[in-house]
């Protein structure tokens, strides 16, 4: 192969590339853009995103908890993380301060709890439901100083609704759990 043959190859290739119609090039570029957009959408919507961490504080100590369960807004695609439960010492009469992230504050949420009364009987209760944007924190204090909290759970509600004769029930989208430890 002569040096003139080597130099003519790139020129020949350029000539062939120039012969490809512009509409073909535009179609190829559009195809690449569409594939890239689909990949971005699939990555962005693959599974539920964690709404963030909740902080529990009691007795001068605090713990930050990731959600033990978190789902998409329709509560159809969920992730479980049972090891995300946190513990704090909760002697009788302890109050717990709960602080939720903005992603929870922007939705309806409440605090559910379990405790043992002065007779050793297990009891449970719930806070009011906080409307979207209404509150970013809650102080849970039992009315009797002899009672001891065992479990505190923040529950974020999703858009999934079940209508019963007693009214509407909304599914729990995400939960964060503190146990006495």
pLDDT in tens, 8-28: 555 655 555 556 566 554 544
pLDDT-derived band at 58, boundaries 50, 70, 90: very high
Tell if the pTM clears 0.75, that is, is over it: no
Residue 116: predicted pLDDT: 96
Distances (CA, A) of 154 to 23, 98, 129, 172: 57, 8, 11, 10
Q: How far apart are the C-alpha atoms of 140 and 122, rounded to whole Å? A: 17
Question: Each residue of 97-110: pLDDT tens digit?
Answer: 999 999 999 999 99
The torsion angles phi and psi of 66, rounded to 5 degrees, stand at: -85, 160
Query: How many angstroms separate the CA atoms of 148 and 20, rounded?
Result: 78
**Exposed e or buried b per residue across 102-131, where buried means at least 16 C-beta atoms within 10 angstroms of its C-beta:** eebbebbbbbbbebbeeeeeeeeeebeebe
**Residues contacting 166, CB < 8 A, separation 6+:** none
pLDDT band of residue 161 (cuts 50, 70, 90) is low
For residue 6, pLDDT over 60 is answered with no
């Amino acid at each position: 192969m002569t040096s003139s043959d080597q130099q003519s190859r790139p020129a020949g290739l350029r000539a062939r590339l120039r012969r490809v119609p512009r509409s073909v090039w535009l179609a190829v570029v559009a195809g690449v853009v569409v594939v890239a957009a689909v990949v971005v959408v699939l990555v962005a919507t693959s599974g539920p995103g964690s709404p963030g961490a909740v902080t529990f504080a009691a007795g001068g100590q605090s713990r930050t908890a990731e959600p033990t369960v978190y789902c998409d807004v329709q509560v159809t695609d969920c992730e479980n993380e049972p090891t995300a439960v946190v513990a704090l010492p909760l002697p009788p009469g302890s109050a717990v301060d709960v602080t939720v992230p903005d992603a929870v504050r922007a939705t309806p949420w409440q605090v559910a709890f379990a405790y043992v009364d002065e007779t050793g009987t297990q009891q449970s209760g719930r806070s009011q439901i906080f409307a979207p944007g209404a509150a970013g924190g809650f102080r849970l204090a039992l009315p009797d100083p002899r009672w001891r909290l065992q479990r505190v759970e923040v529950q974020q509600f999703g858009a999934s609704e079940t209508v019963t004769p007693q009214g509407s029930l909304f599914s729990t989208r995400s939960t964060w759990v503190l146990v006495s430890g």
